[in-house]
Each structure stands twice: as structure tokens, then as C-alpha cells.
């Protein structure tokens, strides 16, 4: 069953590659509980089938990086990019696109959280395993306020411009 507007996000663990050590966050992959991260925050979340893939790298991620200041002006506390990749890959992809300070690159390496959302995409036949559908969501204090799920092979409703109009 796919999560719907008005529902609370399921808890789960997402991993983020930390490039700069801070109190409580060491260098390298750090695991975070979704329930803790969303508490009291407005989050623009977008998910992609895979890091370094054409539409994701050429359009999806760059669009949110470019819109980061505009989303912040609309009260968005954080932007998350979620993919079924490991934290090392997500960290490298974020560095390549200079996402630091704009978009948090969140890894769901085994698709456990993506499956809990009901938004997995089976690409086993194409040699890519289980991935995430392409979507975006506006989350407020852990509750889904907007949900934009793309049709297969499309990039029309999960882009940064749509999220800006909904934030």
C-alpha cells in the first residue's frame, strides 16, 4: 500500500555521508532515524531511481539545488534527496553536484524505507535491483502534506518547480 497525503511517514533508517565532522556526526556514513529528523520540520523530499542516472543527474537533483533558497524562503527547513543507493554513492553524487548545504543526500541502501512507503520500483529485469519510484513529497512534522508520484519513465510532477508551487 502506497503512503497517502495526510498519513505520517513510517519510521526507518536513512544514511547520509558526512564530509565534515561535527558533534554527534563523524566523518563517513551516519545513520539517522526518520522520526527524529522530521520532528518539527518542513521538508521537501524527492526520490529518484538512482544516483548518477541521466534524468536524476541532469534535471532532478540540479533543479532542487537551484531552488534551495526559494524553498527556504517558503519555510522549507530541509531538502532531502532519497535513493536506493549506499551512502558512499549518495555522498559522491552530492559532491559532484555541490549539494552541500542545500540538499541532504539520503541513502536507503536496502530499500527498506522505500518499501515501507510503498514506493519501490522493481528493476530487477533491467539489472538494477529494487529502486525507488520517482516522486516528491512535502512533509510537515512527519505528515505527508503533498505527494507527487511520477508515471513510469516520466519527469513531470516531482520537479522543484512543482514543489515550489506547493510549499
CB neighbourhood size of 113 (10 A): 24
The pLDDT score that the predictor gives to residue 25 is: 67
CATH of 7-166, one of 3.40.30.10, 3.40.50.1820, 3.30.450.40, 3.40.1280.10: 3.40.30.10
* Neighbour order of strands in the sheet with 28-33: 28-33, 13-18, 104-107, 78-83, 42-48, 135-140, 143-149
The pLDDT score that the predictor gives to residue 126 is: 84
Of 37, 149, 159, 47, nearest to 108 (Cα)? Answer: 47
The pLDDT score that the predictor gives to residue 119 is: 96
Ordered by start, the domain boundaries in the chain are: 7-166
Q: What is the dihedral of CA 121, 97, 164, 122, to 10 degrees?
A: 0
CB neighbourhood size of 136 (10 A): 25
Q: Is the dihedral of CA 39, 36, 93, 156 positive or negative?
A: negative
- 145's enclosing H/E stretch is strand 143-149
Tell me the pTM.
Answer: 0.92
Catalytic residues: 56
**How would you class 125 by CB atoms within 10 Å of its CB: exposed for 0-12, middle for 13-18, buried for 19 or more?**
exposed
The pLDDT score that the predictor gives to residue 125 is: 84
Alpha-carbon gap, residue 2 to 163, rounded angstroms: 20
Q: What is the pLDDT along the chain (167 residues), one digit of tens a residue?
A: 899 999 999 999 999 998 776 677 677 788 899 999 999 999 999 999 989 987 877 889 999 999 999 999 999 999 999 999 999 999 999 999 999 999 999 999 999 999 999 999 988 888 788 889 999 999 999 999 999 999 988 999 999 999 999 99
The pLDDT score that the predictor gives to residue 104 is: 97
Amino acid at each position: 500500500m502506497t503512503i497517502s497525503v495526510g498519513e505520517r511517514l513510517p519510521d526507518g533508517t536513512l544514511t547520509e555521508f558526512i564530509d565534515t565532522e561535527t558533534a554527534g556526526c563523524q566523518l563517513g556514513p551516519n545513520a539517522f532515524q526518520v522520526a527524529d529528523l522530521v520532528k518539527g520540520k518542513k521538508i521537501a523530499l524527492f526520490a529518484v531511481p538512482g544516483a548518477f542516472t541521466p534524468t536524476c543527474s541532469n534535471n532532478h537533483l540540479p533543479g532542487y539545488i537551484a531552488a534551495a533558497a526559494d524553498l527556504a524562503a517558503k519555510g522549507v527547513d530541509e531538502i532531502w534527496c532519497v535513493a536506493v543507493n549506499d551512502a558512499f554513492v549518495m555522498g559522491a553524487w552530492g559532491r559532484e553536484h555541490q549539494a552541500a548545504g542545500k540538499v541532504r543526500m539520503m541513502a536507503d541502501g536496502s530499500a527498506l524505507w522505500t518499501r515501507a512507503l510503498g514506493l519501490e520500483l522493481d528493476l530487477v529485469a533491467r539489472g538494477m535491483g529494487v529502486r525507488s519510484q520517482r516522486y516528491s513529497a512535502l512533509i510537515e512534522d512527519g505528515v505527508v502534506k503533498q505527494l507527487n508520484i511520477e508515471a513510469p519513465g516520466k519527469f513531470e510532477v516531482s520537479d522543484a518547480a512543482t514543489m515550489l508551487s506547493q510549499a
